[in-house]
Structure 1
């Protein structure tokens, strides 16, 4: 197999993996928002209610509602911290960015008239290191891939 064909396949893989990492980062950002927004709302309502009821004794249903919101806010906050969606999203964004950097290097390498095998070996080492340090991509991301024939710049 020629080194250009190898570089082209690496480019396709780097593009696909970068796309998957960005999709996963968006997924975790959405989950962080889904858990975070109700937490903020519930905590705000509970905090405001405590100050509003210092002077008067509120009705029983209001006390129960505030208690339930307080418990819900605590549970959502604990889940958000435990599941670490924000950290996971950032790790996937970083991995996607790094795979895109490798993809741009491969584009440049493929555009050169002569083959620099030393540079290609350096790129391979970076791809290997990225594969080891990057977070796992969940299986649900694989179903949302674009058609490689239509989305990749380099075609044979």
Structure 2
């Protein structure tokens, strides 16, 4: 017997709800986000097995949206680190542009100027970004940092 679209949607909703409930049972929580849960991905995988990859990816997307909604408060503290990340990316872009325009004369013979600027600026900006982000994650976990930041905004 052929399944109706309604049955497919209802089964998907029930399995996404089950996956969400299972995600609340954390076996291990990592300090910077992410966790090992009690089989929370199994219902989502079952949907993909039953209805195919396209439907499975669609359900996975909605599962991700549900997870974001559930951890919204936790994600708000990521706003500060996201801002730092954005600042670092914008700094890289400005260095890249100046590298291709003003520092092109230093490009070794045989190199593409754009590739050279990406490689040169990326060689120090990527580690700088990684260290800054790790430092921000560690710093923003401390309650003293929250009071310092909130006090500056008052």
Give me the TM-score of the superposition, normalised by structure 2: 0.29
* Higher helix fraction (1 or 2): 1
* Higher strand fraction (1 or 2): 2
Q: Kindly indicate whether structure 1 or structure 2 has the higher relative contact order, using CA contacts under 8 Å at least 6 residues apart.
A: 1
Give me the TM-score of the superposition, normalised by structure 1: 0.29
